[in-house]
Structure 1
Amino acid sequence: MTRALNQQWHSLAFSAFIFHEIIDNPQEDETPQSRLKQIGMMSVLYIMHQGHQRLTLSNIIENTGLTRTGVTETIDPLVKRGLLTETFVKNSMGRGKARQFEIAPEILEKIRDFESGKNPAVDRRQST
């Protein structure tokens, strides 16, 4: 299969997985609007990830045009769900701390397993 087609499959698998994780597992006191924002944010973060951009609050604000509070309100539930990991790094000026995020490695591994046919749910369907 061509590299471009592989990339399309990976993007589709990521989107479907994130949609399923967020919509099918609502958190307490979470609105449908909040879940849709999370899905949209994960799409933005995935594109930034694919473009090798650092996932810092400043970069996310720059890419989305949202306020710092708007980004934080959408990012925090994603960290709580385990879809993102958070670390503290030095800010761009090297003096303070900045929040940096990563798409959880487990998520990317699950998608790779799914694409390669190692997904147990897929294996069960094929054996019936």
Structure 2
Amino acid sequence: MDNPVEGETPQARLKQLGMLSLLYTLHLANIPLTLTNITEKTGLTRGGAAEPIDQLVGRGLLTERWSKNALGRGKAREFEISDALFASLKAASVARGE
């Protein structure tokens, strides 16, 4: 997040940080990271939720895959926090002596 993408505003980075915080909370609660679950928790529209998520995927902080939706008939985008992000957080924690 220290390296803004060209044309990216501080507001966009703040949205991404907030979204990461929410996604981590859902991850800890074992709630699948889907757009439906995110919109239910935040009240955002699908487009409003997809914008920061797509930016996080582009940065490599989230990985995206397709899974079956809750009804089992259609497809849903499901996200995971990348292993690289967990590794960098762990390294930062070790560096601070935590």
So what's the TM-score if we normalise by structure 1? 0.70
Unaligned runs of 5+ in 1: 1-21, 123-128
Question: Does 2:68 align with 1:90?
Answer: yes
Alignment correspondent of 2:59: 81
Q: 1: CA distance between counterparts of 2:60 and 2:46? A: 21
**4+ residue runs of structure 1 moved beyond 6 angstroms?**
none
CA RMSD of aligned residues (A): 1.2
Among 59, 64, 67, the residue aligned to 2:37: 59
SS at match of 2:71: coil
Which residue pairs with 1:13 in the alignment? none
Distance 1:65 1:44 in 2: 12
Choose the corresponding residue for 1:71, options 45, 49, 58. 49
* Cα distance, 1:114 vs structure 2: 3.8
SS in 2 for 1:49: helix
Count of aligned positions: 95
Matched with 2:18 is 40
Return the letter of the residue paired with 1:74: P
In the superposition, the TM-score normalised over structure 2's length comes to 0.89
Q: Matched residues, percent identical?
A: 55
- Assess, with a 3 A threshold, how the Cα gap between structure 1 residues 34 and 91 changes in structure 2: closer, same or farther: same
